[in-house]
Amino acid sequence: MVRLSFLVVVFILCVTISSATKVVDIDTICKNVTNYSFCSNLLNSKPGSKGDFPSLIQYTFDVLRVNATNTVNLINGLIAKSGSNFNATYHYNVCLIHFDIKKGALHIIEYAEDMYKRKYYKEMGDALEYINFNAWECLLGDTPSDPPFHDTSLLPAYANVVMLVAKIAKSILTYMLQA
């Protein structure tokens, strides 16, 4: 009888643990993102377990942080190379503000991750939207009346990746809240 009770307890623990970790359908997450193939490639490239929300969210935060850091490094290099070109220097300095650690995307990534850990999901979602907004403003400029800077560097591609990864994290969050 004791052995049967032990087996029942072990079975209940296994069921509880497996049901607490929801299996994530990557196709469902990615169909809500503008670039399905990028999303699918990113989430399917995650090493280890692919199927649970906490690991996918953490993975996207890590990818987002790396890409935002790479973007800041690129911007710093572009500022150094822009020399006497006022328009380029101004544009890259504005972009640096949008991505920097004090108020920009890098700071907001840390904030979004903290909100996730505290289970403040609305705030996390808002932060992810703000990351998109900062990257978008870097590309298009702060004032709608000014024409966007014609940037032939890699910065538009880097900023676009940051926006895509933030949208993927938002899609994971949305799917997680619906599951």
Q: Give the domain extent around 148.
A: 23-178
Residue at 11 is within a domain: no
pLDDT for residue 48: 73
What tokens appear for 152 in the block? 């032939």
Alpha helices in 45-154 (DSSP H): 53-82, 86-99, 105-117, 121-140
Residue whose token pair is 């300095």: 93
- Specify the pLDDT at position 171: 95
- For residue 139, give the amino acid letter: L
With contact defined as beta carbons under 8 Å apart, do 55 and 46 qualify? yes
Tell me whether residue 162 is in a domain: yes
Q: Is residue 72 part of a domain?
A: yes
The DSSP annotation for 33-50 comes to SS-HHHHHHHHHT--S--
Instruction: Provide the CATH number for the domain around residue 164.
Output: 1.20.140.40
Asked if residue 7 belongs to a domain, the reply is no
Would you say residue 73 lies in a domain?
yes
Q: What is the pLDDT of residue 50?
A: 62
So what's the pLDDT on residue 21? 52
* CA-based nearest residue to 110, from 137, 128, 88: 128
Name beta bridge partners: 23: 52
Nearest CA to 173 out of 131, 124, 130 is that of 124
- Residue 35 identity (one-letter amino acid): N
Note the pLDDT of residue 161.
97
Number of domains the chain contains? 1
Distance CA 106, CA 31 (A): 27
Would 143 be classed as within a structural domain? yes
Report if residue 18 sits inside a domain.
no
Confirm whether 16 is domain-assigned: no
Q: List per-residue pLDDT tens for the chain, 179 residues long.
A: 554 443 333 333 333 344 345 568 899 999 989 999 999 999 999 887 566 889 999 999 999 999 999 999 999 999 999 999 999 999 999 999 999 988 899 999 999 999 999 999 999 999 999 999 999 999 888 777 778 889 999 999 999 999 999 999 999 999 999 97
